[in-house]
Structure 1
Amino acid sequence: MRRERLRVLLVEFERPDPAAVALGRVLRDDGVEVVHAGPVDSVEQILRTAEQEDPDAVGVLGAAPPGDLEEALGDVPVFTAATAAEVVERLAGGRSHTAEAPSDRAR
Protein backbone atom coordinates (compact mmCIF):
# COMPACT_ATOMS: atom_id res chain seq x y z
CA MET A 1 0.00 0.00 0.00
CA ARG A 2 1.38 3.39 -1.00
CA ARG A 3 0.67 6.45 1.13
CA GLU A 4 -0.51 9.68 -0.39
CA ARG A 5 2.04 11.66 1.66
CA LEU A 6 5.51 10.76 2.85
CA ARG A 7 5.80 10.04 6.57
CA VAL A 8 9.01 11.07 8.33
CA LEU A 9 9.96 10.26 11.90
CA LEU A 10 12.15 12.90 13.57
CA VAL A 11 14.07 11.97 16.71
CA GLU A 12 16.53 13.92 18.82
CA PHE A 13 19.24 11.41 19.70
CA GLU A 14 21.04 11.76 23.05
CA ARG A 15 20.40 15.50 23.40
CA PRO A 16 17.63 17.97 22.51
CA ASP A 17 18.11 19.85 19.25
CA PRO A 18 16.06 23.02 18.58
CA ALA A 19 16.56 22.47 14.84
CA ALA A 20 14.18 19.49 15.01
CA VAL A 21 11.13 21.74 15.32
CA ALA A 22 12.30 23.99 12.48
CA LEU A 23 13.07 21.00 10.24
CA GLY A 24 9.69 19.49 11.08
CA ARG A 25 7.97 22.70 9.98
CA VAL A 26 9.89 22.85 6.71
CA LEU A 27 9.03 19.23 5.95
CA ARG A 28 5.39 19.76 6.91
CA ASP A 29 5.19 22.84 4.68
CA ASP A 30 6.53 20.66 1.88
CA GLY A 31 3.61 18.26 2.31
CA VAL A 32 5.38 15.63 4.41
CA GLU A 33 3.64 14.03 7.38
CA VAL A 34 6.00 14.54 10.33
CA VAL A 35 6.04 12.48 13.51
CA HIS A 36 8.30 14.21 16.06
CA ALA A 37 9.27 11.67 18.71
CA GLY A 38 11.42 14.11 20.67
CA PRO A 39 14.53 13.12 22.62
CA VAL A 40 15.48 9.44 22.76
CA ASP A 41 18.45 7.83 24.48
CA SER A 42 18.99 4.57 22.63
CA VAL A 43 18.87 2.92 19.23
CA GLU A 44 16.30 0.52 20.66
CA GLN A 45 13.92 3.43 21.35
CA ILE A 46 14.34 4.67 17.78
CA LEU A 47 13.64 1.19 16.42
CA ARG A 48 10.53 0.72 18.59
CA THR A 49 9.18 4.12 17.59
CA ALA A 50 9.88 3.44 13.90
CA GLU A 51 8.10 0.10 14.20
CA GLN A 52 5.03 1.81 15.65
CA GLU A 53 4.97 4.78 13.28
CA ASP A 54 5.96 2.99 10.03
CA PRO A 55 7.91 5.95 8.56
CA ASP A 56 9.27 6.30 5.02
CA ALA A 57 12.43 7.88 6.50
CA VAL A 58 13.95 8.62 9.91
CA GLY A 59 15.64 11.94 10.70
CA VAL A 60 18.17 11.92 13.53
CA LEU A 61 19.19 15.23 15.08
CA GLY A 62 21.14 16.16 18.20
CA ALA A 63 23.96 13.66 17.80
CA ALA A 64 25.21 11.66 14.85
CA PRO A 65 23.06 8.64 14.09
CA PRO A 66 24.59 5.37 15.27
CA GLY A 67 26.25 3.42 12.47
CA ASP A 68 24.12 0.34 12.98
CA LEU A 69 20.81 2.23 12.86
CA GLU A 70 20.48 2.14 9.07
CA GLU A 71 21.17 -1.58 9.01
CA ALA A 72 18.62 -2.21 11.76
CA LEU A 73 15.92 -0.17 9.97
CA GLY A 74 16.35 -2.10 6.73
CA ASP A 75 15.07 -0.16 3.73
CA VAL A 76 14.10 2.97 5.72
CA PRO A 77 16.63 5.72 4.98
CA VAL A 78 18.21 7.65 7.86
CA PHE A 79 19.06 11.32 7.44
CA THR A 80 20.40 14.29 9.39
CA ALA A 81 19.40 17.94 9.13
CA ALA A 82 22.15 18.46 6.56
CA THR A 83 20.80 15.75 4.26
CA ALA A 84 17.04 16.16 4.85
CA ALA A 85 16.15 17.93 1.59
CA GLU A 86 18.12 15.40 -0.46
CA VAL A 87 16.44 12.38 1.18
CA VAL A 88 12.92 13.81 1.01
CA GLU A 89 13.44 14.79 -2.64
CA ARG A 90 14.65 11.28 -3.48
CA LEU A 91 11.70 9.65 -1.69
CA ALA A 92 9.14 11.99 -3.21
CA GLY A 93 10.64 11.77 -6.68
CA GLY A 94 10.66 15.53 -7.14
CA ARG A 95 12.17 18.78 -6.01
CA SER A 96 11.49 20.25 -2.59
CA HIS A 97 10.07 23.75 -2.99
CA THR A 98 11.04 24.67 0.57
CA ALA A 99 14.63 23.49 0.44
CA GLU A 100 15.76 26.84 -0.96
CA ALA A 101 12.91 29.08 0.21
CA PRO A 102 11.62 29.87 3.69
CA SER A 103 8.23 28.77 4.93
CA ASP A 104 5.22 30.88 3.93
CA ARG A 105 4.93 31.82 7.58
CA ALA A 106 8.42 33.36 7.51
CA ARG A 107 7.75 35.53 4.44
Structure 2
Amino acid sequence: MIRVLVVEFTRPDAAAVALGRFLRDEGVEVVHAGPVDTAEQILRTAEQEDPDAVVVLGAEPPSLPGFRVFTTAAEAAEWASGGRSHTADAPSDRAR
Protein backbone atom coordinates (compact mmCIF):
# COMPACT_ATOMS: atom_id res chain seq x y z
CA MET A 1 0.00 0.00 0.00
CA ILE A 2 1.23 3.48 -0.83
CA ARG A 3 1.78 5.73 2.20
CA VAL A 4 1.68 9.53 1.85
CA LEU A 5 2.54 12.21 4.38
CA VAL A 6 0.47 15.39 3.93
CA VAL A 7 1.91 18.54 5.51
CA GLU A 8 0.66 22.12 5.55
CA PHE A 9 3.84 24.23 5.62
CA THR A 10 3.71 27.51 7.56
CA ARG A 11 -0.04 28.02 7.11
CA PRO A 12 -3.21 25.92 7.07
CA ASP A 13 -4.40 24.83 3.64
CA ALA A 14 -7.97 23.64 3.11
CA ALA A 15 -6.83 21.43 0.24
CA ALA A 16 -5.06 19.12 2.71
CA VAL A 17 -8.29 17.60 4.05
CA ALA A 18 -9.78 17.18 0.57
CA LEU A 19 -6.57 15.60 -0.68
CA GLY A 20 -6.43 13.24 2.28
CA ARG A 21 -9.97 12.06 1.59
CA PHE A 22 -9.26 11.60 -2.12
CA LEU A 23 -6.09 9.62 -1.43
CA ARG A 24 -7.86 7.38 1.09
CA ASP A 25 -10.57 6.71 -1.48
CA GLU A 26 -7.79 5.66 -3.88
CA GLY A 27 -6.52 3.14 -1.31
CA VAL A 28 -3.58 5.23 -0.11
CA GLU A 29 -2.59 5.30 3.55
CA VAL A 30 -2.52 8.97 4.57
CA VAL A 31 -0.66 10.54 7.48
CA HIS A 32 -1.82 14.13 7.92
CA ALA A 33 0.77 16.04 9.93
CA GLY A 34 -1.20 19.27 9.84
CA PRO A 35 0.42 22.70 9.88
CA VAL A 36 4.13 22.76 10.73
CA ASP A 37 6.47 25.72 11.01
CA THR A 38 9.91 24.43 10.09
CA ALA A 39 11.58 22.28 7.48
CA GLU A 40 13.19 20.33 10.33
CA GLN A 41 9.72 19.32 11.61
CA ILE A 42 8.74 18.08 8.16
CA LEU A 43 11.97 16.12 7.75
CA ARG A 44 11.72 14.50 11.21
CA THR A 45 8.07 13.56 10.64
CA ALA A 46 8.92 12.08 7.24
CA GLU A 47 11.76 10.07 8.74
CA GLN A 48 9.46 8.70 11.44
CA GLU A 49 6.53 7.91 9.14
CA ASP A 50 8.55 6.38 6.26
CA PRO A 51 6.19 7.60 3.50
CA ASP A 52 6.42 6.78 -0.18
CA ALA A 53 5.77 10.47 -0.88
CA VAL A 54 5.44 13.76 0.97
CA VAL A 55 2.90 16.40 -0.04
CA VAL A 56 3.86 19.88 1.17
CA LEU A 57 1.04 22.38 0.76
CA GLY A 58 1.29 26.09 1.49
CA ALA A 59 4.41 28.21 1.26
CA GLU A 60 7.43 27.28 -0.82
CA PRO A 61 8.45 23.83 0.44
CA PRO A 62 11.87 23.12 1.86
CA SER A 63 14.28 20.65 0.31
CA LEU A 64 13.63 17.12 1.58
CA PRO A 65 16.48 14.98 0.26
CA GLY A 66 15.61 11.33 -0.12
CA PHE A 67 11.85 11.87 -0.36
CA ARG A 68 9.51 12.16 -3.34
CA VAL A 69 7.90 15.57 -2.76
CA PHE A 70 4.76 17.02 -4.31
CA THR A 71 3.83 20.66 -3.90
CA THR A 72 0.26 20.61 -5.13
CA ALA A 73 -2.72 18.43 -4.36
CA ALA A 74 -3.19 17.84 -8.10
CA GLU A 75 0.33 16.40 -8.52
CA ALA A 76 -0.13 14.05 -5.58
CA ALA A 77 -3.57 12.95 -6.72
CA GLU A 78 -2.35 12.20 -10.23
CA TRP A 79 0.61 10.20 -8.91
CA ALA A 80 -1.49 8.23 -6.42
CA SER A 81 -4.34 7.46 -8.78
CA GLY A 82 -1.83 6.09 -11.29
CA GLY A 83 -0.84 3.50 -8.69
CA ARG A 84 2.84 4.20 -9.12
CA SER A 85 5.15 3.84 -6.17
CA HIS A 86 8.89 4.42 -6.05
CA THR A 87 9.05 1.27 -3.92
CA ALA A 88 7.68 -1.05 -6.59
CA ASP A 89 11.08 -2.59 -7.24
CA ALA A 90 12.51 -2.12 -3.76
CA PRO A 91 9.85 -2.17 -1.05
CA SER A 92 10.18 0.06 1.97
CA ASP A 93 11.12 -1.30 5.39
CA ARG A 94 7.41 -1.77 6.19
CA ALA A 95 7.08 -4.40 3.45
CA ARG A 96 10.33 -6.29 4.08
Q: Is the partner of 1:34 in helix, strand or coil?
A: strand
CA distance in 2, matches of 1:91, 1:85: 13
**Contact kept in structure 1, 2:22 and 2:77, CA below 8 Å:** no
> Partner residue of 2:78?
86
CA distance in 1, matches of 2:15, 2:78: 17
Gaps of 5+ in 2: 89-96
Equivalent runs, 1:1-107 vs 2, <5 Å: 5-66=1-62, 68-69=63-64, 72=65, 74=66, 76-79=67-70, 80-88=72-80, 89=82, 90-91=84-85
TM-score by length of 2: 0.79
CA distance in 1, matches of 2:33, 2:21: 14
Matched length: 84
Q: Is the partner of 1:91 in helix, strand or coil?
A: coil
> Partner residue of 2:94?
none
TM-score by length of 1: 0.72
**Contact kept in structure 1, 2:19 and 2:77, CA below 8 Å:** no
**Contact kept in structure 1, 2:11 and 2:35, CA below 8 Å:** yes
CA distance in 2, matches of 1:64, 1:85: 19
Largest Rg, 1 or 2: 1
